[in-house]
Structure 1
Amino acid sequence: MEADHKVINTKKVTVPVTGMSCAACAVSVESMLKNTSGVENAGVNYANQSAFVEFDPKATNLETLDKVLESIGYGFIINDDDDEAIAEQEKIQLEHYNDLKRKTMLTGILAVPVVIIGMFFMDLPYGNYVMMALTIPVLFIFGKDFFVNAFKQARHGKSNMDTLVALSTGIAFLFSAFNTLNPQFWHSRGVHPHVYFEAATVIIFFILLGKLLEEKAKTNTSDALKKLIGLQPKTVKVIRDQKEIEISVKDVQLHDEIIIRSGEKIPVDGKVISGNSFVDESLMTGEPIPAEKMTDSQVFAGTINQQGSFTFSAEKIGKNTVLAQIIKTVQAAQGSKAPVQRLVDKIAGIFVPVVIGIAVMTFCVWMFFGGENALTQALLASVSVLVIACPCALGLATPTAIMVGVGKGAENNILIRDAESLEKAKEVNVVVLDKTGTLTQGHPEVTNWEWAGNIQNQEQHAAAIGLLESRSEHPLAQAVVKFVNTNHNGKIEKFESVTGNGVKGNVNGENYIIGTLSFLEKEGAVLNLELQKFAEIQRNAAQTVIGVSLNQVQIALISIADQLKSTSAEAVQKLQEQGIEVYMLTGDNEQTAAAVAKQVGIKNYLAEVKPDDKMQFIQKLQSEGKIVAMVGDGVNDSQALVQADVSIAMGKGSDIAMDVAKMTLITSDLMVLPKALQLSRKTVATIKQNLFWAFIYNLIGIPIAAGILYPINGFLLNPMIAGAAMALSSVSVVTNSLRLRGLKL
């Protein structure tokens, strides 16, 4: 048996699609793509009119796939520049919207006299001819696309919403035209010929009106993405050949020197080389206080300079900037499918053929049991079935909610990578938090500096301590250097760094030892009793203590801590109020872990855990049936993040943590975490509401249209009312999804 050879070097792209008018269209496009040679995988999102395609570049390309889609009435917008492709798609959508608006208005103008004559002046001389003359442009000019698209679908053995509209209005028109041109056929049989021009025109009007409202509503679902794209300036001032020139942001090259003045948006990522200012980074980081920028500070595309001016060197441009990556992630997430959508796609794929079958069966039943008006009632009922059935509501139920939910997340510093993780987060009942960088700031700071007795020349000794610590790369040493914050002048002799213990050396003729208290004792230094008591108090408060000796006598004790974030305790409380168990994992010692856990209100914690231990602990929780979310920020969290059901990275963490995670909190504020889980619950609830109403609508509407109530109370649904109901079903689903935009997280 030969092994399957799966293509490894595939290309993955997301491309805007044109021509889709309903959910069944999306199913047709996806089916055609998947069945094209060279395509490994494909998915189509009707709500944002895009397709994800994975293909072998050696076997096919986008131009070939575009021609395949053109054969059934659709197409790709192919452009290497994503922004231009989106702009082109928006232009096409705007033109389509304006064209739809024009067609709807003209159809309405022509439909009004047809309805008036058909409902109130049935015996008007030549009334049928007038109605037929007005109906022809409605169907075959303003409603032409329904018939053209239905024909293209039929050529490939496929069907969509256009098929239902074309069949229902086409049958009604042909029957009415025959009765108008050849009334004697019925008169000779003792039957009065009825016409249904008003039904055909009003059906077209209501369906066009529904599509118009749907298009208007759908454009609002991508507002968050438009806001992100709007953060990018179009032009930028650079220095070239010692001259300041203004160029398009697309023409910026690596290492270009870019000038930023007060109030201007930063166009690309880079590093400040001169000047200083404060930059508002809140839209990307969630931090409300503007960040100070000086030489060697990092700046990011889309952030806004507040005051002052500076020059920076471009380090990441185009698609490589942090903002571009965020936009790409949001686009991919909005286009991704939640697991529940797979079932809906299958239903939408068989929906139209099933409805046509029901319409045919309805016609046959009425012809058999309808009595003297059998043909008229059979025609009305079958046309009503074709018109009222709506796969669009089903197709829009999930993707519109996902689009709005992902966009709402982006506005609240929650970057969601795919719809599956957004749906899964609803089920989370355990959250595992890494300590460092998640609950805490992630960098140590000096919190207390105690001198022994009446030590003279404290500033001189502090400068000497800072000078020695500047030779060490240990994070605790760097915290001391930052705290001292003096110019490191002085002569160091006999410097020695002892890994895991501390440093020692001679500065300006004085011998200093800096490190753990046990290290000082080992080196023969005499410890100070009062400072030792203070050290114990600090350790119980989750502080790390280091001692300093001068000429073998302890002169100072320095307390260092990775400070808790101001919102950590509140975030933990919010999670617990939501019924979620919270665990803390840390590599720190038991004493520090216990102190931190107590401060933030966490009862369950593990200390001195290694990366493997974190992963195994999550596996243990999962074996107990728990749905686990892991929140971390470092390389040591990556294994646990992969193992978790929902992986969440802190935005200021390591690149690998953010690459692995399915969600990224683009801020250091842990309060965003309970908001992310709340957003998941609200989005999934909206999806369920949409699906409920879409299914109920069809389950109730189709039998009523078929005439199930006629034997009970004589009610037979008018095709015009059916058309209005169909239009409103799609609009109601989109409107319900848009309610998420007003959600307060």
Structure 2
Amino acid sequence: MQDRQISMQITGLSCAGCVGRAEKALAALPGVTEASVNLATAKGQVQAMPDLEPAVLVSALEQAGYPAALSQLSLDIEGLSCASCVGRAEAALRAVPGVVSAEVNLATQRAEIRYLTGATRAADLRAASTKAGYPASLRGSEADAAEQAQQRRGQEITALSRQLSLAAVLTLPVFVIEMGSHMVPAMHHWVMANIGHSNSFLLQFVLATLVLIGPGRHFYSKGVPALLRGAPDMNALVALGTAAAYGFSVISTFFPQVLPVGTANVYFEAACVIVVLILAGRLLEARAKGRTGAAIRKLVSLQPKTAELISGDSVIETPVEEIAPGDLIRLRPGARIAVDGEVTSGSSFVDESMLSGEAVPVEKGKAARLSAGTVNGSGVLEFRATHVGRDTALAQIIQMVEQAQGAKLPVQGMVDRITLWFVPAVLLAACLTVLAWLILGPAPALPLALVAGVSVLIIACPCAMGLATPTSIMVGIGRAAQMGVLFRKGDALQKLQAVQVVALDKTGTLTAGHPALTNLQPAEGFVSDEVLRLVGAAEAQSEHPIAKALVAAAGKDLPKAQSVEALPGFGLRAQVEGNEVLVGAARLMQREGIDAVALAALAQSWAAEGETPFYVALNGQLAAVLAVADPIKQGTAQAIAALQARGIKVAMITGDAEATAQAIATRLGIDAVRAECLPGDKVAAMKELQDSFGSLAFVGDGLNDAPALAAADVGVAIGTGTDVAIEAADVVLVSGDLRGVQDALTISGATMRNIRQNLGWAFGYNVLLVPVAAGVLYPSGGPLLSPVLAAGAMALSSVFVLSNALRLHRLKSSLDEKAEMPRNGTASLRPAT
């Protein structure tokens, strides 16, 4: 049986250690073959046997201390007539991946479903029930998974803001009384005269207690259970640090006699300020995390909530969840398309820039394909829905990006191994610090030992290490999606930066994949447009691809040809508006006794460039020479030049004849050519290139490119190509423009640099500052770091990592400055079924 993938939102994750423990809990379950958890997105992905119950995942995460986020949905169910109907409907709903429980009530004809947030959607649940024979409809409304995640993020930010405000208000008097007395003698005298020494301690005790049992309670409710389970996390470090400062202060306040003389000092302000600073850091972190998911939210927002469904003679505004394949939909001017479909009537221009990155609207007429999320122009269209819900191109893009964002790069393995023992190591370092100060420190050693031990606990920041890689991946892949580059596999992001050679298929990759008129030179006394008009009319009745190219170039409103005669091996003869038109090869001109010498040299030069020349004669006189070829795609030359400027070799692997391949390679400046390759030969040719140059990325679009795409170090598929090619690739270029390869390399290089910067900061910060917090500089006259400064540094460390990752939003696409040029068709991003 094939494994299935289950996604879920996980709560309570605060550092890389949490991620490791959550992954360990999931991976240990029978039937789970692979588990990964992403700190930045708070999302887990599990590959498991089909019979694994999601409730088992929920239970495992609950026991590990990181509960899965659950959503609830109500459906109205039709067709329930007995208890067996209830059983079948429940079984169908429970079979949907991610459903934890499904209860169907016969009396109310309603189903209550609990499912892992992000694992499924209302449309999938409705479809499952309907397929089982019990049509279902939404009871109320449900936000999309991305909207729910955004709502939870907003709630988290609101709660943190409230907690921070309360903690700051309670902490301010404590900080002013204690630190003000130390720093300003006049303040000390005022406090002693008006409040008194004992009352000052009591007031600080009351306020600090309120801070720790109020806004700071979260650290204890999460950290203490984690500590008792033997799996301490960031919350445990904060809980221990603040508890130590608070506990020592309580003893100093109420039982000073048990402490050595001169050591009964209070550190209530340290405990309070630590809570304030860490809450402030988490608030900034939550806001920054919200920005990392902007790409997904933008994509989700492109799908409208309703569509105008044509039912008989009426048009009904219908929720998009209720649209089914085959439904007829009317599209008003300026409206956003709700589902994928095929035009049945009308014509318009559609803005597909959200899919392709191209700003030029695409003309749509009967039988043209439409994609959800794109925007109609000024015309009215009617179209039949072909793909809805998760089957639309937009939904596939969103799913592709989400999966890639949640992936773990090979570099993350090292980080995971380190963070698993990081918190226990910090606890050990804190204990050794206290012990060393008690044994070696100057009198009074106890307060100094306490300050140093608490500082070590507080300054250590596993959060920064845990966020270093996933936030960069999330922002980088999201920005790539906005640029029209879809990473289907996250590890391609790391592999792509090492590529030394890019191998390109020719047909459909370098070229448009279909013949087109590329050149036309009229003979003396003839006009290009008139010659082309007559040629188009003569070829209009032919189904040959070259004939279609000539008709397309000639335009509309062509005259009707008479007496059309195909001349096998030579060309075509026809009568158009009283003119005898001959179109064909040089041998046709020779057979008919027409002198073509005047244009022969030009025809030969075009042939040398890989184009196919044809002659045109009107009424027995040479009228023009034209050339037809599979034209080079716009931007291809710039893309190849940009790759070579990076020091990357560019090769072409094609099944075309050697002469044609060499002509195109010379024209584009390609470094190496492998021609006349069958699909199996392409893999062998790639191996030769890998041996010669190193790591290789292969770019292709056709069915015959699938083996090469799968075998390459990185397979890059043209989004306008076949579904099979897209399925075999690691990266998809939505627009089909080869400059997308340059964008993919830019994203890869920038993201990996960003990850290295983040990891360098996170590890460097901890390696350098933990010893400083322990007091290694103190014997040589250096500072003994205050727990308050330690808390500030720890909070800023995570914020730095997130802010650095967000810089990837600024990356520019090489397509931004492309020349505007009309095109036809749209991207095919639907996986093969």
Using the size of structure 2 for normalisation, the TM-score is: 0.81
For 2:49, the equivalent position in structure 1 comes to 56
Cα distance in 1 for partners of 2:795, 2:524 equals: 84
Query: For residues 491 and 150 of structure 1, do their structure 2 counterparts lie closer, same or farther at Cα, with a shift above 3 Å needed?
Result: same
Deviations 1:527-559 (A, max 9, x none): 855365553232023211356899999998652
Quick one: which of 292, 302, 326 aligns to 1:221? 292
Give per-residue Cα distances to partners, 1:245-272, cap 9 Å, x unaligned: 1011111111111111111101111111
Residues 167, 276 of structure 2: 8 Å contact kept: yes
Pairing partner for 1:98 from 158, 173, 186:
158
Distance 2:493 2:749 in 1: 9
Tell me if 1:40 matches 2:110.
Answer: no
State the distance in 1 between where 2:434 and 2:463 align: 24
Q: Secondary structure at the match of 1:427?
A: coil
Aligned to 1:415: 486
Which residue of structure 2 aligns with residue 685 of structure 1?
Answer: 753
The answer as to whether partners of 1:73 and 1:149 remain within 8 angstroms in 2 is no
> Where does residue 585 of structure 1 map in the other structure?
653
SS of 2:338's equivalent in the other structure is coil
Tell me, in whole angstroms, the C-alpha distance in 1 between the residues paired with 2:66 and 2:742: 45
SS of the residue corresponding to residue 253 of structure 1 reads coil
Task: Find the residue that maps to 2:307 and give its secondary structure.
Answer: strand
In structure 2, relative to structure 1, the CA distance for the partners of 1:358 and 1:550 (3 Å cut) is same
Contact 2:589 2:596 (C-alpha < 8 Å) held by counterparts: no
Q: Is the 8 A contact 1:651 1:664 kept in 2?
A: yes
**Equivalent residue for 2:62?**
70
Structure 1, residues 406-427: CA drift from partner, whole Å, max 9, x if none? 1111111111123311111111
Answer yes or no: is the 8 Å Cα contact 2:310–2:328 preserved in 1.
yes
1:113 aligns with 2:173: yes
CA contact (8 A) 2:10 2:44 kept: yes
Aligned residue identity for 2:313: Q
- Aligned partners of 2:520, 2:449: CA distance in 1, in Å? 92
Q: 1:172 to 1:505 in 2, by over 3 A?
A: same
Partner amino acid, structure 1, of 2:473 = I
Specify which of 314, 319, 323 is matched with residue 385 of structure 2: 314
The answer to whether 1:469 aligns with 2:542 is: yes
Q: Choose which of 284, 303, 319 in structure 1 pairs with 2:374.
A: 303
Q: Which moved more, 1:614-623 or 1:601-610?
A: 601-610
Pair 709,324 (structure 1): closer, same or farther in 2 beyond 3 Å: same
2:230 corresponds in structure 1 to 157
Give 1:622 shift: 1.7
> d(CA) in 1 for partners of 2:604 and 2:532?
26
CA contact (8 A) 2:538 2:564 kept: no
Q: What is the CA distance between 1:164 and its match in structure 2? A: 0.5
Alignment match, 1:352: 423
Q: 1:692 to 1:452 in 2, by over 3 A?
A: closer
User: In 1, distance between residues paired with 2:502 and 2:713?
Assistant: 10
Q: Given residue 540 of structure 1, which amino acid in structure 2 is its aligned partner? A: A
One of 127, 130, 133 as aligned partner of 2:206 = 133
Q: Per the alignment, in what secondary structure is the counterpart of residue 227 of structure 2? A: helix
Q: Which residue of 1 aligns with 2:734?
A: 666
Secondary structure of the equivalent of 2:732? Answer: strand
Equivalent position SS for 2:443:
helix
Aligned-pair CA distance for 1:288: 2.0
Given the superposition, is the C-alpha separation of residues 399 and 491 from structure 1 closer, same or farther in structure 2, using an over 3 Å criterion?
Answer: same
The alignment partner of 2:50 has SS state of coil
Distance 1:99 1:720, change over 3 A: same
SS at match of 1:272: strand
Task: Map Cα deviations across residues 315-363 of structure 1 (whole Å, 9 max, x no partner).
Answer: 1111111111111111111111111111111111111111111111111
2:81 is matched with none
* Equivalent residues of 1:14, 1:332 under 8 A apart: no
TM-superposed CA distance for 1:133, in Å, is 0.7
Partner of 1:148: 221
Q: Which residue in 2 is equivalent to 1:564? A: 632
- SS in structure 2 of the partner of residue 258 of structure 1: strand
Quote how far apart the aligned CAs of 1:99 are: 0.6
The alpha-carbon deviation at position 512 of structure 1 amounts to: 10
SS where residue 372 of structure 1 aligns?
A: coil
Is this contact kept in 2: 1:469–1:480, CA < 8 A?
A: no
Aligned match for 2:509, one of 428, 433, 438: 438
- The amino acid across from 2:253 in the alignment is T
Task: Give the share of equivalent positions with the same residue, in percent.
Answer: 39
TM-superposition CA deviations, 1:303-322 (whole Å, max 9, x none): 11121211111111111111
Superposed CA offset, 1:349-394 (max 9, x none): 1111111111111111111112432222221111111100010000
Of 623, 634, 644, the residue aligned with 2:691 is 623
Aligned residues of 1:525 and 1:553 also touching (Cα < 8 A): no
The answer as to 2:126 corresponding to 1:88 is: no
Question: CA offset at residue 459 of structure 1?
Answer: 8.9
The equivalences for 1:112-261 within 5 A come to 112-119=172-179, 120=181, 121=188, 124-186=197-259, 189-261=260-332
Q: What letter corresponds to residue 443 of structure 2 in structure 1? A: E
The alpha-carbon distance between structure 1 residues 518 and 660, as it changes in their structure 2 partners (threshold 3 A), is farther
Q: Return the match for 1:384 from 455, 470, 476.
A: 455
Q: Distance in 2 between matches of 1:614 and 1:45?
A: 37
RMSD, aligned CA: 3.0
Amino acid paired to 1:605: V
Q: 2:410 aligned to 335, 339, 358, which one?
A: 339
Aligned residues of 2:585 and 2:615 also touching (Cα < 8 A): yes
**Structure 1 residues 528 and 604, CA gap change in structure 2 (3 angstroms):** farther
**2:608 matched to which residue of 1?**
540
After superposition, what is the alpha-carbon deviation per residue over 1:136-160, rounded to whole angstroms, capped at 9, x for unaligned? 1211221111111123323433121
Is the Cα contact below 8 Å between 1:393 and 1:733 reproduced in 2?
yes
List runs of 5+ in structure 2 lacking aligned partners: 71-115, 123-142, 182-187, 814-833
* 2-structure distance, mates of 1:516, 1:297: 34
Distance across 2 between alignment mates of 1:669 and 1:463? 29
Shift in Å at residue 566 of structure 1? 3.0
| CA 742–12 in structure 1, closer or farther in 2 if over 3 Å, else same | same
Distance in 2 (CA, whole Å) between partners of 1:208 and 1:139 is: 12
Look up the match of 2:435: 364
Amino acid at match of 1:733: V
**How many equivalent pairs are there?**
726
Equivalent residues in 2 for 1:591-630 (5 A)? 591-624=659-692, 626-630=694-698
Q: C-alpha separation between the residues in 1 aligned to 2:282 and 2:5?
A: 31
Contact map agreement 2:224 2:239 (CA 8 A) in 1: no
Instruction: Report how far residue 664 of structure 1 moved.
Output: 1.2
* Partner in structure 2 of residue 4 of structure 1: none
The whole-number CA distance in structure 2 between the counterparts of 1:283 and 1:168 is 49
For the 8 Å contact 1:274–1:312, the answer to whether it is kept is: yes
Corresponding residue number in structure 1 for 2:399: 328
* Cα displacement string for residues 407-453 of structure 1 (whole angstroms, at most 9, x for unaligned residues): 11111111112331111111112111222222222221123567899
The letter for the 2-side match of 1:81 is R
Q: Which AA in structure 2 matches 1:466?
A: E
**C-alpha displacement at 1:588, in angstroms?**
2.6
- Partners of 1:110 and 1:100 in 2: CA distance: 15
Give the conservation status (yes or no) of the 8 Å contact 1:468–1:504: no
Alpha-carbon distance, 1:711 to partner = 1.0
> Separation in 1 of the partners of 2:283 and 2:712?
43
Which residue does the alignment assign to 1:18? 11
- The answer as to whether partners of 1:16 and 1:86 remain within 8 angstroms in 2 is no
CA contact (8 A) 1:131 1:197 kept: yes
| Structure 1 unaligned residues grouped into runs of 5+ | 1-7
Contact 1:525 1:549 in 2 (8 A): no
- How far the C-alpha of 1:491 sits from its partner, in A, is 7.1
Tell me, yes or no, if the aligned pair for 1:333 and 1:417 is still in contact at 8 Å. yes
